[in-house]
Every structure is written in C-alpha cells, then in structure tokens.
A and B are shown apart, each in its own frame.
Chain A
C-alpha cells in the first residue's frame, strides 16, 4: 500500500514548529514544509528577533507567545491550535533545520496502525555532522531515557514526531522547557498509546549545534523532570 492512499490529504496534517530566535533559518525551514502542502503552525516563543515575521507566508499560521516560556510550552500551544483547527495528524518539527520533511510521510503513514510515531536518529538513516562526543551523549541519553520511561526505544528525544489528534489530550505537555520530551514518553506509556519508531535523517549544522542541548543542559532537564509537578 502506498503512502498516498494512507494519507488522504496533506491538509489533515498540521506540522507544529516551535521557534525561538530563529529568524535566520526559519523561513527556509517553514517554506520547505509548507511547499509539501502541509498546514504549518509556527509558534514564536517570544523571540527577540524577527522570527514571527520571517515565518509568515501563505499556508502558515504564526502564533506568538508574548513572553518566552520554553520549547515544551510552545509545542503545546501549537498542538492545541492544530486540534482546534481540526487537524487529524499532528507532526512536531524542529525550527533549526535539522529535520528533513521527506521523513514526514513515513511518520504519518505509521499512524495508520499506531497512535504515536517517534522519529529515531539511530534506525539506519545517517546522522550527518554529529561529533563522536555528541553520539556518545545521545546514546547515554537514550539509555537513561529508557530507564525512566520503561520503554525500549533507539532514540531518546528526537524533535520529529507524529501523533493522531485523538492522542493529543493524553499527551498534553505541562513541562514548559526541555523536559517535555521525557514527559511525552511517560505519558505515552501511562496512557497506553500504541507507539512506533520510524527512522529519520538528522542533519547537524553549525547553527543547529549551537542552538542544541549540550551535556550540561541535561542536568537542568532532569531537575525539571523530577521537581516540577506535572
């Protein structure tokens, strides 16, 4: 069965992109996704630059947080908006250009049999531009994440995911900052949603590395996860 028969219409698919100070690259990323015919919801998380203006184009809705709250909060805003607009499938996509929209059809196709499809950087597709240290960090994060969530996944926190809109209420993110990724895994597990991993390509650029999470950030994420009631 081909992907096109599984996915009735790309307009059922809302791609949520959370962006903070991404004016330089957001236009390229959003344009690429919108060109595929997906409804794009960009959430500008209180950026101090022109992120919101740069992202504005036909087929794209730009939401703007009046204050900076964090990636988790921005994603949740976009998800809630997408649900209100009648989305059937929701995809989360990073604003820094590390994901490829060529992976979206496969993720959404997996929703025919599952509620949630998580992108994985370690299922065969190449990880471009990651240093040896970063690979080790990601592997360790995956091992720890599996311990915490009780699931066996090959990747801990890939920003590229898809889920059915019907799963959105069970997944409601309350972790405003980066701990939302662990929170999502926990909620997937406790709510009994059917989850599958889909291989995706990740392209680390100098820009995405600078915006990305280093090893020290992990401590803050763990603090948030354990000490912020959600």
Chain B
C-alpha cells in the first residue's frame, strides 16, 4: 500500500515534491533502470560508435536514470520552464518525440514505396522490351 501511494505521489497536484528514498519504490525503479541499461547496452553494442553518437545516447540515458532516481528533479525543471508537474513536462516532450519519429518513418516509408514503384515499373518495361526483341524465347531446359 505504501508502495502504491509512493508511486502516485508525483500525481498529487500542487504539493511541493520531495525526493523519494530508493527503498520506497524499489520495484518500478529497478524495472526502469534495467530498461535504460538494456537500451544503452544494445545501442553501444550494435550501433556505430561515433563519439557524438555515444555522448548523445549516454546523455539521454543519464537523464532518464536521473529522473528515476530523483523524481522531484523533473518537477523542479517543469516549474522552471512554466509547466505544473514533472509528469506533464515528460508527456509533452514524449508527444513531440513520438510525432517526430512518426513523421520520420512515414517519410522513409513513402520514399521506399516510390523506389519500389520505380523498380517494378523498370522491370515491367524491361521485360516487355526483351519479349519484343525475342518474341519466342527458347523453352527452358527440362528439369533433370
């Protein structure tokens, strides 16, 4: 019961937030931190290791971990930029990030479709021109 109350603590509006000790929310924090660690592990292991890339990913992961360890910090940042609660701020950032990712992949998808169209078209025309050049191709060799 105490765990649930602690989890919902950031949702209680208007109240000034205080740092929640780790022992109060062990489960969710372990889940979040291992998730971030897993992302970091996969990204560093599988992707290119440009210094800029590493710094960016590490920065994002560190920010995530900080938000898990010091939930009150997001409230402070939110207040600083004029947003009521930390969760709201994170939601807004998420919304923008999700839109950005969606548009990015949609653009890629359309581009890919255009390339597929071009390929299919070229193949169709090429095949017709080959047939035109040799109307009666020799029959394929019989299977052995």
Contacts and interface: CB of A to CB of B under 8 A. Distances in A.
Interface residues of B, number: 13
A182 interface: no
Could you say which of B110, B116, B120 has the most chain A C-beta atoms within 10 Å of its C-beta?
B120
Chain B interface helix/strand/loop/mixed: helix
Interface in B101-128: 110, 113-114, 116-117, 120-121, 123-125, 127-128
B121 A73 contact: yes
Given A61-B132, A63-B125, A81-B125, A174 B120 contact: no
Interface of A: 43, 61-67, 69, 73, 76-77, 80-81, 84, 174, 176, 228-229
A61 B127 CA distance: 11
Could you say which of A61, A76, A77 has the most chain B C-beta atoms within 10 Å of its C-beta?
A77
A174 B110 CA distance: 11
Contacts, number: 40
Interface of B: 110, 113-114, 116-117, 120-121, 123-125, 127-128, 132
B120 A66 contact: yes
Contact of B121 (A61, A62, A80, A229): A80
B117 A228 contact: no
Contact of A69 (B117, B125, B127, B128): B117
